[in-house]
Amino acid sequence: MTFPRATLRLQLHEGFTFDDALAQLDYFAALGVSHLYLSPITTAQPGSMHGYDTVDYGTVSEERGGEAALRRLADALHARGMGLIVDLVPNHMGVGGAHNAWWLDILEWGRHSAFARHFDVDWHSPDPVLRGKVLMPCLGAQYGEELAAGRIALKFDAALARFFVQYGPHVCPICPIDYATLLQSAGHADLDALAAPFQGLTTQPDDQTRAAIARDALRAFVELEGTAAIDSALQSWSGADAVTRERLHRLLDRQHFRLAWWRTATDEVNWRRFFDVSALAGVRVERHDVFEAVHKLVFRLYAEGVIDGLRIDHIDGLADPREYCERLRQRLMSLRAQPPYLVVEKILAHGEPLREDWPVQGTTGYDFMNDVGALLHDPAGAAPLAESWAAISGQDWPFARIALDARREVLAAYLAAELDHAARALHRIAREQPATRDFTYASVHRVVAQLAMHFPVYRIYPVNGLRGQEDNPWFDLALQAARQAVPRASLAALDQVDAWLGARAPDVENGNGAKPARAAQASTNAGAQTGNGGGTSKQAVQNPAPAPLSHALIAQRTALTLFSQLTAPLAAKATEDTALYRYGRLLSRNEVGADPDDFARSVEEFHADNALRQRRFPYAMLATATHDHKRGEDVRARLAVLSEIAPEWSATLRAWSTLNQPHRRNDATPSSSSSPGSVAGEWAPGPAAEAMLYQTLVGCWPPELDAGDEARVRELAERVARWQLKALREAKLRTNWLAPNEAYESDCQAFLFDILAPQRRDGFLQALATFVARIAPAGAVNTLLQTVLRLTSPGVPDLYQGTELWDLSLVDPDNRRPVDFALRAAALDQGAPATKLAQWRDAHVKQATIAHLLALRARAPELLREGEYWPLEVRGALAAHALAFARRHGNTWAVVISTRHAAALLEGDLPLVESTRWDGTAVVLPKGCPAADLHDWLSDAKRAATKHDQDNVLYLRDVLSAMPVAVLSNLTPA
């Protein structure tokens, strides 16, 4: 298989398996994608709906159908000339429950487990109670309470001949060192004999082998005699009374794990988590043995031709993403001559490029989603919408200020343990040199916190412990902000931490831990530089074999890794999972990978971004919807229209708030409608939450929904209620996940159901439906513009499951709901998009646009995937309302022309600007691009020659007469 022309992402789980995907393959092929792009296929926690909680990297998930079903799907794809890309999660594994053999072995044998180095566990915790142990923060209440309640129970697994402690679904194996004591507690002669081989065991590898032999004997006894004697022994360790409970407690204290209340994780967890999720443990994939174990299955599947490429999840969680990508590509290329297709999930800040020394095809498309999203917004709406939001929320801060406050809170309340790990790594460096030993832990912790809080990007990517030219501008922004924030007495510590975090190489000989020269060129020492265009390596001059690393350099690299693995989750949790739920100027710019302060982009900026992608990463994915988006692509497209009618929207918000005031809970004084525990004067949902609720309803209201349809309105209300609960908790203002304010949450839900109640059909419901009907045509124009740009811009378009019709989804799990593929298959025909525009509410015009442009991509794969990109000039009175560019490959051309910011131009119900409105507005074609005999792939009509062709211009009144978008080419359908 070659690189993809277009991919279609599927979310697999036990309710949608490989065979379910196989059943829809005819539809996927007819739609025109070249590759399916699957969510993780490895074995995950039972019942996982997403697959990102892998428990076994070596097997294909049986819940998703197993390897046989995967191969059936792959064979059917390959028979159709299609391919398969799979999502891989190398950064973390699921460790909750009882199914991760690596993790269970660690709990059993501690630091001497064969898998002790597979995870980022700090075996030398500063807390004496945790030294040599793994914190297991899985208890629903405090340890003593759960122990006394008998919910922590000692049990025996006869099949494995293993003693373990169980708490709900969580299993923690007892170390065999204690088996002798457990077996002897029964006072049973046979068990006493079986206990003898366990006497004197240690955790050393040889003794682990002895323990396995002793367990075989125990298993054989149980198979013959049953477990009655062992069940009797277990009574001596029951939590039922004080004596046996104390004995159980002492047994637990001797284990290599410490059971703890889940809230302790924030402050005390001694292993790297995925963000703040204590059921996901970070994997040390930078180690060679771990790398091989994590990738064993995908290497085999790739070598055998089952899969054709990989999507790497959360690349920023890895210790060294560049080195990882380099190693992964080299291994895959050793297995097959064909270059592998590799893309990485990477969030890029505004102005931050993807590193060119990463040997990947590009990102999974969040950057493009942001580019096209910003293009849809009218910059004239930014100021009035900001004023309106300030009046509603009482805050006139920019989003950056909101995000900074969120970072401060998240760092203190959710990632305190991760901050502590990074600070302690740096403090250890301080203690090793006489010149720096007086820098205290508190001073180091203080400055590291400020650096992390002000870090403008997810992380940096030093090489050999040193920052390079690409790292320094970002780090310097954080450094300058930290200088303003820390006390003057901490500035010396800040300068020293700057050095330890890669500004200078350690110099042990001088005893000061730092060299004077800044390592500005560190990235040139990274070894082989790798290009991206065709996925093949462009080898730079090879470095000689590296000398053994000094202890000082190892310590500096460790500190840099821990700092980078702090800033990345901090950015995600504070920005995506907190600040984006607090700031509501316009929710269509509150998206993963976006910055709400970067409100709108000009056509020129969009062209520049596309041209850069074409030069650097022509095979990067182009996404407008993902399994992680906050709002569906068509929700965002419709909400963007509000930027064009900002004054009207502000007035509408005020009117709706007044209309619905009687339904507020606890407005000024407690009332019978308020939930117990409500606070007088703190009405629910509150002005900011209410305003964001209205935006959400406007964005996700189906265009064909009648306000009088009680069943469908109720269904919508239930979906929005699930979004609302998540949004309120993520905002962490009046409720949160750690300590939910259920009274407030109940009041907010009651408000939502009240304003959408059937009796409001002539009031708010009708007002809502009428307003949506007014802006929906302009939203549909935006949808078609966004769709065309995704399918014609440089890169590989990615379709998220089901979004070929309306994507009015909200944040997960709403965006992972079952997809009615039968409905979509029935709707797909050969009709041109233009013939479906009149019935645009059924979204068949969107589906047809996708199918026709995918057909163009199949007709000339190189044209739209890696062809040249030519921004085109638009002239005339309405030039600001159009966007145009051309793609060229050899003598083949495609000209893309689209309507934008159409709200003021539309008349009536059709998402199409009347031809006469365009007047003399025209697109100037580049030299060599024919003006005559161009086929419009969206109207399926050939453009007739006109008297203006010698001027090499295309008038919008002609090319946009049937559709608000046009894709013209000198190629015709096959």
* Average pLDDT for 474-482: 98
- Residue 632's nearest CA partner among 576, 700, 729, 722 is 700
For residue 93, list its beta bridge partners: 281
- What would the DSSP string read from start to end of 604-671? HHHHHHHHHHHHH-TT-EE-S--TT-SB-HHHHHHHGGGGGSHHHHHHHHHHHHHHTGGG-BSSSS--
CATH number assigned to the domain comprising residue 300: 3.20.20.80
pLDDT value, residue 946: 67
Q: Say whether both 181 and 270 belong to one domain.
A: yes
Task: Give the H or E element holding residue 219.
Answer: helix 205-225
Question: Residue 757 above 80 pLDDT?
Answer: yes
Report residue 165: phi and psi, to 5°.
Answer: -105, 135
Assigned domain for 453 exists: yes
Contact 41, 298 (CB under 8 A): no
pLDDT band at 240 (very low <50, low <70, confident <90, very high): confident
Q: Are strands 83-88 and 54-60 parallel, antiparallel or unpaired?
A: unpaired
Contact 546, 527 (CB under 8 A): no
Assigned domain for 884 exists: yes
The Cα 367–Cα 865 span in angstroms is 17
Range of the domain at 59: 7-91+283-364
C-alpha angle with apex 694: 656 to 965, nearest 5 degrees? 115
Instruction: State the sign of the Cα–Cα–Cα–Cα dihedral 123, 458, 288, 212.
Output: positive
Q: Say whether both 409 and 335 belong to one domain.
A: no
Q: Which residues, 6 or more positions from 790, have their beta carbon under 8 angstroms from its beta carbon?
A: 368, 372, 622, 623, 624, 797
Place of tokens 């939910």: 740
The SS3 assignment for 78 reads helix
Q: Say whether both 105 and 36 belong to one domain.
A: no
Question: Residue 945 above 90 pLDDT?
Answer: no
User: Of 364, 384, 405, which residue constitutes the final position of a domain?
Assistant: 364
Computed over every residue of the chain, the mean pLDDT equals: 93
Task: Give the H or E element holding residue 924.
Answer: strand 922-924
CB neighbour burial string for 638-667, b if at least 16 within 10 angstroms, e if fewer:
bbbbbbbbbeebbebbeebeeebeebbbbb
CATH number assigned to the domain comprising residue 877: 2.60.40
pLDDT over 90, % of the chain: 90
Q: Say whether both 551 and 450 belong to one domain.
A: yes
pLDDT value, residue 541: 34
- Residue 393's nearest CA partner among 668, 678, 651, 691 is 691
Assigned domain for 556 exists: yes
The SS3 assignment for 254 reads coil
- State how far the alpha carbon of 695 is from the alpha carbons of 590, 635, 649, 698, 702, in Å: 12, 10, 10, 5, 14
Which of 152-166, 328-342, 521-535, 827-841 has the lowest average pLDDT? 521-535
Q: Say whether both 311 and 453 belong to one domain.
A: no
Q: Which amino acid is at 368?
A: F
Q: What is the pLDDT of residues 703-717, one digit of tens each?
A: 999 999 999 999 999
Burial tier of 837 (Cβ tally within 10 Å: 0-12, 13-18, 19+): buried
pLDDT band at 674 (very low <50, low <70, confident <90, very high): very low
pLDDT band at 323 (very low <50, low <70, confident <90, very high): very high
The SS3 assignment for 309 reads strand
Q: Are strands 42-44 and 873-875 parallel, antiparallel or unpaired?
A: unpaired
Question: Residue 669 above 60 pLDDT?
Answer: no
pLDDT value, residue 569: 97
Q: Are strands 153-157 and 92-94 parallel, antiparallel or unpaired?
A: unpaired
DSSP 121: B
Question: Residue 803 above 90 pLDDT?
Answer: yes
The Cα 111–Cα 114 span in angstroms is 8
Task: Give the H or E element holding residue 502.
Answer: none
The Cα 105–Cα 90 span in angstroms is 19
DSSP 253: H
- Residue 586's nearest CA partner among 332, 392, 306, 450 is 392
User: Of 221, 245, 274, which residue constitutes the final position of a domain?
Assistant: 274
Assigned domain for 622 exists: no
Burial tier of 910 (Cβ tally within 10 Å: 0-12, 13-18, 19+): middle
Contact 482, 472 (CB under 8 A): no
Report residue 969: phi and psi, to 5°.
Answer: -145, 155
The SS3 assignment for 923 reads strand
* Average pLDDT for 927-947: 85
pLDDT value, residue 513: 44
Assigned domain for 597 exists: no
Give the E-state strand segments of 789-944 in sequence order.
796-800, 868-871, 873-875, 882-889, 892-899, 922-924, 935-936, 941-942
Question: Residue 876 above 60 pLDDT?
Answer: yes
Contact 573, 416 (CB under 8 A): no
pLDDT value, residue 510: 43
User: Of 715, 739, 772, which residue constitutes the final position of a domain?
Assistant: 772
Question: Residue 66 above 60 pLDDT?
Answer: yes
Assigned domain for 817 exists: no
Question: Residue 458 above 60 pLDDT?
Answer: yes
pLDDT value, residue 511: 43
Farthest CA pair distance, the chain: 106
Task: Give the H or E element holding residue 441.
Answer: helix 441-453
Instruction: State the sign of the Cα–Cα–Cα–Cα dihedral 823, 826, 831, 835.
Output: negative
Q: What is the pLDDT of residues 176-211, one digit of tens each?
A: 999 999 999 989 999 999 999 999 999 999 999 999
The SS3 assignment for 853 reads helix
pLDDT band at 637 (very low <50, low <70, confident <90, very high): very high
Start-to-end CA distance of the chain, whole Å, equals: 22
- Residue 255's nearest CA partner among 145, 101, 152, 140 is 152
Q: Are strands 277-282 and 92-94 parallel, antiparallel or unpaired?
A: antiparallel
Work out the angle between the directed axes of helices 710-731 and 742-755 (0-180°, nearest 10): 150
CATH number assigned to the domain comprising residue 257: 3.30.1590.10
pLDDT band at 515 (very low <50, low <70, confident <90, very high): very low
Give the count of beta carbons closer than 10 Å to the beta carbon of residue 826. 10
The Cα 503–Cα 467 span in angstroms is 6
Q: Of 182-191, 518-527, 772-781, 920-929, where does the model show the most confidence?
A: 772-781
The Cα 771–Cα 407 span in angstroms is 36
pLDDT band at 948 (very low <50, low <70, confident <90, very high): low
| The two structure tokens encoding residue 15 | 């309710």
Q: Say whether both 399 and 499 belong to one domain.
A: yes
Q: Say whether both 301 and 247 belong to one domain.
A: no
Question: Residue 518 above 60 pLDDT?
Answer: no
The total number of structural domains in the chain stands at 5
Q: What is the pLDDT of residues 848-865, one digit of tens each?
A: 999 999 999 999 999 998
- State how far the alpha carbon of 573 is from the alpha carbons of 272, 332, 344, in Å: 15, 33, 19
DSSP 679: P
Q: Say whether both 226 and 83 belong to one domain.
A: no
Work out the angle between the directed axes of helices 603-616 and 366-375 (0-180°, nearest 10): 160
- State how far the alpha carbon of 292 is from the alpha carbons of 57, 118, 328, in Å: 10, 11, 10
* Average pLDDT for 798-814: 97
Q: Say whether both 339 and 463 belong to one domain.
A: no
The Cα 589–Cα 594 span in angstroms is 6
pLDDT value, residue 537: 39
Q: Which residues, 6 or more positions from 504, have their beta carbon under 8 angstroms from its beta carbon?
A: 466, 514, 515, 516, 517, 518, 519
Q: Say whether both 87 and 111 belong to one domain.
A: no
How many residues belong to the chain?
974
pLDDT value, residue 550: 84
pLDDT value, residue 930: 87
Assigned domain for 623 exists: no
Q: What is the pLDDT of residues 522-580, one digit of tens each?
A: 333 333 333 344 444 333 334 444 556 688 899 999 999 999 999 999 999 999 999 99
pLDDT band at 947 (very low <50, low <70, confident <90, very high): low
Q: Say whether both 139 and 221 belong to one domain.
A: yes
- What would the DSSP string read from start to end of 181-218? HHHHTT--HHHHHHHGGGTT--SSHHHHHHHHHHHHHH
Instruction: State the sign of the Cα–Cα–Cα–Cα dihedral 859, 865, 869, 875.
Output: positive
Q: Which amino acid is at 961?
A: S
- State how far the alpha carbon of 930 is from the alpha carbons of 936, 953, 971, in Å: 13, 10, 11
| The two structure tokens encoding residue 425 | 């790594």
- Residue 571's nearest CA partner among 354, 398, 348 is 348
Torsion angle (degrees, nearest 10) of CA 333, 337, 338, 339: 30
Report residue 154: phi and psi, to 5°.
Answer: -85, 130
Give the count of beta carbons closer than 10 Å to the beta carbon of residue 352. 16
Contact 380, 347 (CB under 8 A): no
| The two structure tokens encoding residue 345 | 């999930």
C-alpha angle with apex 323: 319 to 327, nearest 5 degrees? 125
The Cα 474–Cα 455 span in angstroms is 7
Q: Say whether both 109 and 209 belong to one domain.
A: yes
Assigned domain for 796 exists: no
* Average pLDDT for 933-955: 82
